[in-house]
């Protein structure tokens, strides 16, 4: 396994709509293993493929670092589709490995229903709420080219402007690899 550099705000791949995965092969499994290792080293709980330079519609989630999810089985989500959103909206602070040190309150549905493929190319349906729903929605946003600054009001985004510029310049202190400019 190898550690992959993480794309940051301003990198064009983070704004692309990603291509569906056509087949789960050895290369994809290796990419997924590298993504899990990269996420672990960066102390993340979710990571989308484009955050490590891959134009593939997939993400991973591992919530075992959150107390109530200590028994959580890491999740690989391929070609996801959110098929249901709850009307109940919860606002919580979020961060992102592609936005080092930046935190902002983001509104998200409390519960969702997700359809996706697993690594055996079997269709799965997952009902998620709380932290799991939030992380899935956050990572799903990456797959459609959205990030935290797109989910906040104009005043908050304006307040974050200086931090976003520093991130684009890679003028941030992190304990993980970032992509080159």
Is 93 annotated as catalytic?
A: no
What pLDDT, in 10s, does the model give residues 130-152? Answer: 999 999 999 999 999 999 999 99
- Examine residue 96 and state whether it is found in any structural domain, yes or no: yes
pTM, two decimals, is 0.96
- Examine residue 180 and state whether it is found in any structural domain, yes or no: no
Sheet of 58-61: strand order equals 46-48, 58-61, 75-85, 111-117, 123-129
Identify the active-site residue in 81, 110, 122, 139: 139
- Examine residue 1 and state whether it is found in any structural domain, yes or no: no
- Examine residue 74 and state whether it is found in any structural domain, yes or no: yes
Q: How many structural domains compose the chain?
A: 1
64 has which bridge partners?
none
**Domain of residue 52, CATH code:** 3.90.45.10
What pLDDT, in 10s, does the model give residues 36-87? Answer: 999 999 999 999 999 999 999 999 999 998 989 999 999 999 999 999 999 9
3-state percent breakdown (helix, strand, coil) of the chain, nearest 5: 35, 30, 40
Show the domain range for 96: 12-168
- Examine residue 125 and state whether it is found in any structural domain, yes or no: yes
Contact 76, 95 (CB under 8 A): no
Q: What is the pLDDT of residue 56?
A: 98
- Examine residue 6 and state whether it is found in any structural domain, yes or no: no
- Examine residue 4 and state whether it is found in any structural domain, yes or no: no
CA 152/CA 170 separation, integer angstroms: 22
- Examine residue 175 and state whether it is found in any structural domain, yes or no: no
What pLDDT, in 10s, does the model give residues 27-42? Answer: 999 999 999 999 999 9
């Amino acid at each position: 396994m190898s550690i992959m550099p993480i794309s940051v705000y301003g990198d064009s791949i983070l704004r692309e709509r990603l291509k569906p995965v056509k087949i789960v092969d050895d290369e994809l499994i290796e990419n997924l293993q590298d993504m899990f290792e990269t996420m672990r080293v960066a102390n993340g709980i979710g990571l989308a493929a484009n955050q490590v330079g891959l134009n593939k519609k997939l993400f991973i989630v591992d919530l075992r670092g959150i107390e109530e999810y200590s028994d959580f089985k890491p999740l690989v989500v391929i070609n996801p589709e959110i098929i249901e959103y709850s009307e109940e909206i919860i606002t919580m602070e979020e961060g992102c490995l592609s936005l080092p040190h930046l935190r902002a309150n983001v509104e998200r549905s409390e519960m969702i229903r997700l359809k996706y493929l697993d690594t055996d190319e079997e269709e799965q349906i997952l009902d998620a709420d709380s932290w799991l729903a939030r992380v899935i929605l956050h990572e799903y946003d990456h797959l459609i080219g959205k990030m935290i600054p797109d989910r906040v009001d104009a005043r908050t985004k304006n307040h974050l402007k200086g931090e976003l510029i520093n991130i684009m310049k890679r003028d941030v202190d992190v304990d993980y690899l970032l992509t080159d400019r």
